[in-house]
Amino acid sequence: RKLLPSLKTKKPRELVLVIGTGISAAVAPQVPALKSWKGLIQALLDAAIDFDLLEDEESRKFQKCLHEDKNLVHVAHDLIQKLSPRTSNVRSTFFKDCLYEVFDDLESKMEDSGKQLLQSVLHLMENGALVLTTNFDNLLELYAADQGKQLESLDLTDEKKVLEWAQEKRKLSVLHIHGVYTNPSGIVLHPAGYQNVLRNTEVMREIQKLYENKSFLFLGCGWTVDDTTFQALFLEAVKHKSDLEHFMLVRRGDVDEFKKLRENMLDKGIKVISYGNEYADLPEYFKRLTCEISTRGRSGKM
Protein backbone atom coordinates (compact mmCIF):
# COMPACT_ATOMS: atom_id res chain seq x y z
CA ARG A 1 0.00 0.00 0.00
CA LYS A 2 1.24 3.46 -0.86
CA LEU A 3 1.20 6.02 1.93
CA LEU A 4 -1.36 8.79 1.49
CA PRO A 5 0.48 12.12 0.89
CA SER A 6 -1.79 14.14 3.20
CA LEU A 7 -0.99 11.72 6.04
CA LYS A 8 2.68 10.94 5.49
CA THR A 9 3.54 14.66 5.34
CA LYS A 10 2.27 15.23 8.89
CA LYS A 11 4.75 15.86 11.68
CA PRO A 12 4.39 13.82 14.90
CA ARG A 13 3.35 16.88 16.94
CA GLU A 14 0.45 17.47 14.53
CA LEU A 15 -1.05 14.07 15.38
CA VAL A 16 -3.30 12.62 18.06
CA LEU A 17 -3.25 8.82 17.92
CA VAL A 18 -6.54 7.16 18.90
CA ILE A 19 -5.95 3.55 19.96
CA GLY A 20 -8.94 1.18 19.75
CA THR A 21 -9.63 -2.45 20.64
CA GLY A 22 -8.12 -3.65 17.35
CA ILE A 23 -4.65 -2.70 18.59
CA SER A 24 -4.98 -4.47 21.94
CA ALA A 25 -6.41 -7.52 20.18
CA ALA A 26 -3.41 -7.56 17.84
CA VAL A 27 -0.92 -7.17 20.70
CA ALA A 28 -2.38 -9.92 22.91
CA PRO A 29 -4.75 -12.00 20.75
CA GLN A 30 -5.02 -14.75 23.38
CA VAL A 31 -6.88 -12.42 25.80
CA PRO A 32 -10.60 -12.42 24.82
CA ALA A 33 -11.31 -9.45 27.11
CA LEU A 34 -9.23 -7.21 24.83
CA LYS A 35 -11.07 -8.10 21.63
CA SER A 36 -14.47 -6.60 22.25
CA TRP A 37 -16.79 -5.02 24.75
CA LYS A 38 -18.70 -8.32 24.91
CA GLY A 39 -15.46 -10.23 25.53
CA LEU A 40 -14.61 -7.93 28.44
CA ILE A 41 -18.02 -8.34 30.09
CA GLN A 42 -17.84 -12.12 29.64
CA ALA A 43 -14.38 -12.18 31.24
CA LEU A 44 -15.58 -10.07 34.20
CA LEU A 45 -18.58 -12.36 34.59
CA ASP A 46 -16.34 -15.46 34.50
CA ALA A 47 -14.10 -13.93 37.18
CA ALA A 48 -17.12 -13.06 39.36
CA ILE A 49 -18.35 -16.66 39.04
CA ASP A 50 -14.88 -18.07 39.80
CA PHE A 51 -14.74 -15.96 42.96
CA ASP A 52 -18.26 -17.13 43.90
CA LEU A 53 -19.63 -13.58 43.95
CA LEU A 54 -22.93 -14.24 42.17
CA GLU A 55 -25.92 -16.38 43.03
CA ASP A 56 -26.70 -19.08 40.45
CA GLU A 57 -29.82 -17.22 39.35
CA GLU A 58 -27.89 -13.94 38.89
CA SER A 59 -25.20 -15.73 36.94
CA ARG A 60 -27.74 -17.37 34.61
CA LYS A 61 -29.46 -14.03 34.01
CA PHE A 62 -26.20 -12.33 33.03
CA GLN A 63 -25.15 -15.22 30.76
CA LYS A 64 -28.54 -15.12 29.03
CA CYS A 65 -28.32 -11.34 28.40
CA LEU A 66 -24.81 -11.70 27.01
CA HIS A 67 -25.82 -14.61 24.80
CA GLU A 68 -28.76 -12.62 23.42
CA ASP A 69 -26.57 -9.54 22.90
CA LYS A 70 -29.02 -7.44 24.90
CA ASN A 71 -27.90 -3.86 25.55
CA LEU A 72 -24.34 -4.61 26.64
CA VAL A 73 -23.82 -1.26 28.35
CA HIS A 74 -26.71 -2.06 30.69
CA VAL A 75 -25.44 -5.59 31.30
CA ALA A 76 -22.01 -4.21 32.21
CA HIS A 77 -23.55 -1.55 34.42
CA ASP A 78 -25.66 -4.11 36.30
CA LEU A 79 -22.72 -6.48 36.74
CA ILE A 80 -20.47 -3.72 38.05
CA GLN A 81 -23.21 -2.59 40.44
CA LYS A 82 -23.10 -6.11 41.87
CA LEU A 83 -19.36 -5.90 42.45
CA SER A 84 -18.88 -2.18 42.72
CA PRO A 85 -17.04 0.03 45.19
CA ARG A 86 -19.93 2.50 44.93
CA THR A 87 -22.30 0.31 46.97
CA SER A 88 -22.40 -0.25 50.72
CA ASN A 89 -22.59 -3.95 49.93
CA VAL A 90 -20.18 -6.42 51.56
CA ARG A 91 -18.87 -7.22 48.09
CA SER A 92 -17.73 -3.62 47.84
CA THR A 93 -14.21 -4.12 46.50
CA PHE A 94 -14.73 -7.15 44.30
CA PHE A 95 -15.00 -5.21 41.04
CA LYS A 96 -11.32 -4.34 41.43
CA ASP A 97 -10.43 -8.01 42.04
CA CYS A 98 -12.33 -9.08 38.94
CA LEU A 99 -10.62 -6.42 36.81
CA TYR A 100 -7.18 -7.45 38.02
CA GLU A 101 -8.00 -11.09 37.33
CA VAL A 102 -9.12 -10.26 33.78
CA PHE A 103 -6.05 -8.15 32.97
CA ASP A 104 -3.55 -10.26 34.93
CA ASP A 105 -0.03 -10.71 33.55
CA LEU A 106 -0.59 -8.95 30.22
CA GLU A 107 3.17 -8.58 29.71
CA SER A 108 3.60 -12.31 29.11
CA LYS A 109 0.74 -12.40 26.60
CA MET A 110 2.09 -9.83 24.13
CA GLU A 111 3.06 -11.12 20.68
CA ASP A 112 6.01 -9.80 18.69
CA SER A 113 4.00 -8.38 15.78
CA GLY A 114 1.84 -6.54 18.32
CA LYS A 115 4.92 -5.18 20.06
CA GLN A 116 6.00 -3.75 16.70
CA LEU A 117 2.75 -1.75 16.66
CA LEU A 118 3.37 -0.45 20.18
CA GLN A 119 6.97 0.42 19.24
CA SER A 120 5.66 2.61 16.40
CA VAL A 121 3.13 4.32 18.69
CA LEU A 122 5.82 4.95 21.32
CA HIS A 123 8.19 6.31 18.67
CA LEU A 124 5.58 8.85 17.51
CA MET A 125 4.81 9.79 21.13
CA GLU A 126 8.46 10.48 21.85
CA ASN A 127 8.51 12.74 18.80
CA GLY A 128 5.54 14.78 20.00
CA ALA A 129 2.32 12.92 19.10
CA LEU A 130 -0.44 12.73 21.72
CA VAL A 131 -2.16 9.41 22.49
CA LEU A 132 -5.66 8.65 23.69
CA THR A 133 -7.38 5.29 23.89
CA THR A 134 -10.82 3.79 24.40
CA ASN A 135 -9.19 0.67 25.91
CA PHE A 136 -9.14 -0.27 29.60
CA ASP A 137 -5.79 -2.09 29.37
CA ASN A 138 -2.35 -0.55 29.81
CA LEU A 139 -0.46 -2.55 27.17
CA LEU A 140 1.28 0.54 25.78
CA GLU A 141 2.44 1.63 29.23
CA LEU A 142 3.69 -1.90 30.02
CA TYR A 143 5.56 -2.10 26.72
CA ALA A 144 7.15 1.32 27.32
CA ALA A 145 8.25 0.29 30.83
CA ASP A 146 9.88 -2.80 29.31
CA GLN A 147 11.82 -0.41 27.04
CA GLY A 148 12.89 1.61 30.10
CA LYS A 149 10.45 4.45 29.39
CA GLN A 150 7.83 5.75 31.79
CA LEU A 151 4.34 6.59 30.51
CA GLU A 152 1.55 7.84 32.75
CA SER A 153 -2.04 6.52 32.53
CA LEU A 154 -4.67 9.26 32.80
CA ASP A 155 -8.45 9.03 33.01
CA LEU A 156 -11.07 11.75 32.88
CA THR A 157 -11.52 11.85 36.67
CA ASP A 158 -8.29 13.84 37.03
CA GLU A 159 -9.37 17.08 35.41
CA LYS A 160 -6.16 18.99 36.14
CA LYS A 161 -3.97 16.41 34.42
CA VAL A 162 -6.39 16.00 31.51
CA LEU A 163 -6.29 19.75 30.95
CA GLU A 164 -2.48 19.69 30.96
CA TRP A 165 -2.52 16.73 28.56
CA ALA A 166 -4.80 18.63 26.16
CA GLN A 167 -2.47 21.64 26.42
CA GLU A 168 0.45 19.36 25.48
CA LYS A 169 2.13 19.68 28.86
CA ARG A 170 1.97 15.92 29.57
CA LYS A 171 3.13 14.41 26.34
CA LEU A 172 4.23 11.09 27.80
CA SER A 173 0.77 10.40 29.20
CA VAL A 174 -1.90 8.13 27.72
CA LEU A 175 -5.46 9.40 28.12
CA HIS A 176 -7.91 6.52 28.68
CA ILE A 177 -11.29 8.09 27.91
CA HIS A 178 -13.20 5.12 29.40
CA GLY A 179 -10.78 4.69 32.28
CA VAL A 180 -7.99 2.18 32.93
CA TYR A 181 -8.30 -1.02 34.94
CA THR A 182 -5.62 0.05 37.45
CA ASN A 183 -8.01 2.77 38.69
CA PRO A 184 -11.43 1.04 38.94
CA SER A 185 -13.21 4.14 40.25
CA GLY A 186 -12.30 5.94 37.01
CA ILE A 187 -13.90 3.32 34.76
CA VAL A 188 -16.96 4.71 33.07
CA LEU A 189 -19.40 2.89 30.85
CA HIS A 190 -21.66 5.73 29.84
CA PRO A 191 -21.22 9.48 29.19
CA ALA A 192 -23.37 10.22 32.25
CA GLY A 193 -20.36 9.12 34.25
CA TYR A 194 -18.39 12.01 32.80
CA GLN A 195 -20.83 14.67 33.91
CA ASN A 196 -18.19 16.55 35.90
CA VAL A 197 -15.73 16.64 33.03
CA LEU A 198 -18.39 17.47 30.46
CA ARG A 199 -19.52 20.31 32.72
CA ASN A 200 -15.98 21.63 33.05
CA THR A 201 -16.02 23.88 30.02
CA GLU A 202 -12.31 24.68 30.26
CA VAL A 203 -11.31 21.01 29.97
CA MET A 204 -13.88 20.36 27.24
CA ARG A 205 -12.77 23.34 25.21
CA GLU A 206 -9.11 22.32 25.32
CA ILE A 207 -9.96 18.76 24.29
CA GLN A 208 -12.14 19.99 21.43
CA LYS A 209 -9.43 22.36 20.27
CA LEU A 210 -7.27 19.31 19.61
CA TYR A 211 -9.91 17.91 17.27
CA GLU A 212 -10.08 21.24 15.45
CA ASN A 213 -6.35 21.91 15.25
CA LYS A 214 -4.65 18.54 14.96
CA SER A 215 -5.07 15.42 12.85
CA PHE A 216 -6.47 12.42 14.68
CA LEU A 217 -5.18 9.06 13.46
CA PHE A 218 -7.55 6.22 14.40
CA LEU A 219 -5.84 2.84 14.82
CA GLY A 220 -7.79 -0.38 15.39
CA CYS A 221 -10.89 1.69 16.04
CA GLY A 222 -13.58 0.56 13.62
CA TRP A 223 -16.65 2.33 14.94
CA THR A 224 -15.03 4.33 17.77
CA VAL A 225 -16.49 7.52 16.36
CA ASP A 226 -19.96 6.10 17.05
CA ASP A 227 -18.98 5.71 20.70
CA THR A 228 -21.16 8.03 22.78
CA THR A 229 -18.27 9.15 24.99
CA PHE A 230 -16.09 9.98 22.01
CA GLN A 231 -18.94 11.93 20.44
CA ALA A 232 -19.57 13.85 23.65
CA LEU A 233 -15.89 14.80 23.86
CA PHE A 234 -15.20 15.60 20.24
CA LEU A 235 -17.80 15.37 17.54
CA GLU A 236 -20.82 17.10 19.07
CA ALA A 237 -19.20 20.46 19.62
CA VAL A 238 -17.15 20.77 16.46
CA LYS A 239 -18.99 23.08 14.11
CA HIS A 240 -16.71 23.36 11.08
CA LYS A 241 -16.28 19.70 10.20
CA SER A 242 -15.34 20.51 6.61
CA ASP A 243 -12.09 22.10 7.81
CA LEU A 244 -10.93 18.93 9.56
CA GLU A 245 -8.46 16.36 8.29
CA HIS A 246 -8.42 13.17 10.32
CA PHE A 247 -7.47 9.64 9.29
CA MET A 248 -8.63 6.11 10.05
CA LEU A 249 -6.57 3.05 9.16
CA VAL A 250 -8.74 0.00 8.48
CA ARG A 251 -8.47 -3.40 6.84
CA ARG A 252 -9.89 -3.47 3.31
CA GLY A 253 -12.10 -6.46 4.17
CA ASP A 254 -15.65 -6.39 2.86
CA VAL A 255 -15.76 -3.92 -0.06
CA ASP A 256 -19.31 -2.72 0.62
CA GLU A 257 -18.60 -2.24 4.32
CA PHE A 258 -15.40 -0.39 3.48
CA LYS A 259 -17.19 1.97 1.06
CA LYS A 260 -19.96 2.58 3.56
CA LEU A 261 -17.47 3.39 6.32
CA ARG A 262 -15.50 5.69 4.02
CA GLU A 263 -18.61 7.67 3.03
CA ASN A 264 -19.85 7.80 6.60
CA MET A 265 -16.56 9.12 7.97
CA LEU A 266 -15.95 11.80 5.36
CA ASP A 267 -18.89 13.70 6.88
CA LYS A 268 -16.93 13.80 10.13
CA GLY A 269 -13.75 15.03 8.48
CA ILE A 270 -12.16 11.56 8.62
CA LYS A 271 -10.40 9.94 5.65
CA VAL A 272 -10.65 6.14 5.78
CA ILE A 273 -7.47 4.49 4.49
CA SER A 274 -6.85 0.79 3.88
CA TYR A 275 -3.57 -0.59 5.24
CA GLY A 276 -4.07 -3.93 3.45
CA ASN A 277 -6.38 -6.92 3.13
CA GLU A 278 -5.24 -8.74 6.28
CA TYR A 279 -4.96 -7.66 9.92
CA ALA A 280 -1.36 -8.89 9.74
CA ASP A 281 -0.58 -6.10 7.23
CA LEU A 282 -1.01 -3.33 9.81
CA PRO A 283 2.28 -3.52 11.81
CA GLU A 284 4.45 -3.23 8.69
CA TYR A 285 2.31 -0.48 7.13
CA PHE A 286 2.25 1.51 10.36
CA LYS A 287 5.99 1.10 10.82
CA ARG A 288 6.62 2.57 7.34
CA LEU A 289 4.23 5.41 8.08
CA THR A 290 5.88 6.11 11.43
CA CYS A 291 9.36 6.21 9.87
CA GLU A 292 8.19 8.64 7.19
CA ILE A 293 6.42 10.95 9.68
CA SER A 294 9.25 10.86 12.23
CA THR A 295 11.84 11.67 9.55
CA ARG A 296 9.83 14.73 8.53
CA GLY A 297 9.44 15.74 12.16
CA ARG A 298 13.21 15.68 12.65
CA SER A 299 14.16 17.34 9.37
CA GLY A 300 11.42 19.98 9.61
CA LYS A 301 10.42 19.16 6.00
CA MET A 302 7.07 20.51 4.85
pLDDT at 239: 64
Say whether pLDDT at 19 is over 60. Answer: yes
| Distance spanning both ends of the chain, measured CA to CA | 22
Q: How many domains does the chain have?
A: 2
**Domain end among 103, 121, 142:** 103
Q: Which of 36-40, 100-104, 175-179, 220-224 has the lowest mean pLDDT?
A: 220-224
Residues 225 and 187 in one domain: yes
**pLDDT grade, residue 76 (50/70/90)?**
confident
Residues 196 and 62 in one domain: no
Residues 156 and 286 in one domain: yes
- Average pLDDT value over all residues in the chain: 87
pLDDT in tens, 157-180: 898 999 999 999 998 999 998 899
pLDDT in tens, 271-281: 999 998 888 89
Residues 48 and 144 in one domain: no
Residues 123 and 230 in one domain: yes
**pLDDT grade, residue 194 (50/70/90)?**
low
**pLDDT grade, residue 94 (50/70/90)?**
confident
pLDDT at 273: 93
What CATH code is carried by the domain that includes residue 263?
A: 3.40.50.1220
pLDDT in tens, 197-247: 667 788 888 888 898 899 999 999 876 667 777 777 777 666 666 678 999
Say whether pLDDT at 80 is over 90. Answer: no
Residues 188 and 283 in one domain: yes
Residues 174 and 198 in one domain: yes
**pLDDT grade, residue 90 (50/70/90)?**
very low
**Domain end among 52, 78, 103:** 103
Residues 92 and 147 in one domain: no
Residues 278 and 177 in one domain: yes
**Domain end among 84, 103, 122:** 103
**pLDDT grade, residue 27 (50/70/90)?**
very high
What's the predicted TM-score (pTM) here?
0.90
pLDDT at 195: 67
pLDDT at 84: 72
pLDDT at 132: 95
pLDDT at 299: 61
**pLDDT grade, residue 91 (50/70/90)?**
very low
Q: Which residues contact 91 (CB under 8 A, 6 or more apart)?
A: 53, 82, 83
3-state SS of the chain is: CCCCHHHHCCCHHHEEEEECHHHHHHHCCCCHHHCCHHHHHHHHHHHHHHCCCCCHHHHHHHHHHHHCCCCHHHHHHHHHHHHCCCCCCCCCCHHHHHHHHHCCCHHHHCCHHHHHHHHHHHHHHHCCCEEEECCCCCHHHHHHHHCCCCCEEEECCCHHHHHHHHCCCCCCEEEECCCCCCCHHHCCCCHHHHHHHHHCHHHHHHHHHHHHHCEEEEECCCCHHHCHHHHHHHHCCCCCHHHCCEEEEEECCCHHHHHHHHHHHHCCCEEEEEEECCHHHHHHHHHHHHHHHHHHHHHCCC
pLDDT in tens, 118-148: 999 999 999 999 999 989 999 999 999 999 9
Residues 157 and 263 in one domain: yes
Residue-range definition of the domain harbouring residue 88: 33-103
Residues 134 and 272 in one domain: yes
pLDDT at 18: 95
Residues 115 and 209 in one domain: yes
Mean per-residue pLDDT, 76-103: 76
